[in-house]
Structure 1
Amino acid sequence: MTDTAADPVRDFIAQTIADHPVVLFMKGTPDAPRCGFSAQAVQILDHLSAPFVGVDVLQDDGLREGIKAFTDWPTIPQLYVKGEFVGGSDIVREMFQAGELGTLMADKGVPLGDADA
């Protein structure tokens, strides 16, 4: 059975991903992460000087569950680059350590290292 009614959580997630080149759905905010995995993802993005928007999933239970359903990915944080789901904390860390995360962002046209971005 398909639900033809609008899903405001799904719409919010899709619109946020569409509106921003890099989005991190996380627990807490970039300035005050509320879990170690979210903090690690923020540190990696900050190290790359990647301009990103952090979305605090702890503000809304519907959003916290909705983002998991959106990607069929069970954990938070979740990183999106130019609309593409990249992965969670472990994948982000592994890609960063291998030099792949910065390359992915550069290939997708995300400006890195620009403090004014």
Structure 2
Amino acid sequence: MSNPAHEKIEALVKANDVVLFMKGTPLFPQCGFSSRAIAILDHLGLKYESVDVLQDMEIRQGIKEYSDWPTIPQLYVKGEFLGGSDIMMEMYEAGELHELAAEKGLAKAEE
């Protein structure tokens, strides 16, 4: 049984090295957690794709099932689910996100 939302999510996750499913957009995050996630990615200077779950109810529900994670934002790196903003913050503060970015050869944002 195919799930159109899961197929859409999988296509996004596979097509982009870094994908953040969030509430709002990078310029106008609609919650503090999404805002923190964007701040971390911007501080790392990474190129990323963002998906505003508020614009698509199927994606908003589907992403929670896809990752088996109840909250948004959700970060995917090279097709792998990393976690939400708390996990991102912990990894960032421990230097693990920097290491991961270098290890995975993630592209830097255009200056």
Q: Same fold (TM over 0.5)?
A: yes
Partner of 1:43: 39
Q: Which residue of 2 aligns with 1:52?
A: 48
**Cα distance, 1:111 vs. partner?**
2.6
- Which residue among 56, 62, 85 is the counterpart of 2:58? 62
For 2:41 and 2:98, the matched residues in 1 are separated by 9
TM-score (norm 1): 0.91
Where does the alignment leave 5 or more consecutive residues of structure 2 unmatched? none
Note the alpha carbon deviations across 1:22-75, whole angstroms, 9 max, x for none. Answer: 000000011110000000000000000000001000112211110000010000
CA distance in 2, matches of 1:35, 1:102: 24
Give the corresponding residue for 2:93. Answer: 97
2:97 equivalent to 1:84: no
Where 1:55 maps in the other structure, the secondary structure is: strand
Kindly report structure 1 stretches of 4+ aligned residues shifted beyond 2 Å.
Answer: none
Query: Separation in 1 of the partners of 2:102 and 2:77?
Result: 10
Q: Which has the higher helix share?
A: 2
Distance 1:15 1:111 in 2: 19
* CA distance in 2: counterparts of 1:81 and 1:60, whole angstroms: 21
Amino acid at match of 2:49: V
Count of paired positions: 111
In structure 2, the partner of 1:24 is: 20
Structure number, greater radius of gyration: 1
TM-score normalised according to structure 2 size:
0.95
Alpha-carbon separation, structure 1, partners of 2:16 and 2:57: 22
What is the distance in 1 between the residues matched to 2:39 and 2:27?
10
Q: State, as a whole percentage, how many aligned pairs show the same letter.
A: 55
Where structure 1 has 5 or more consecutive residues not aligned to the other structure, the ranges are none
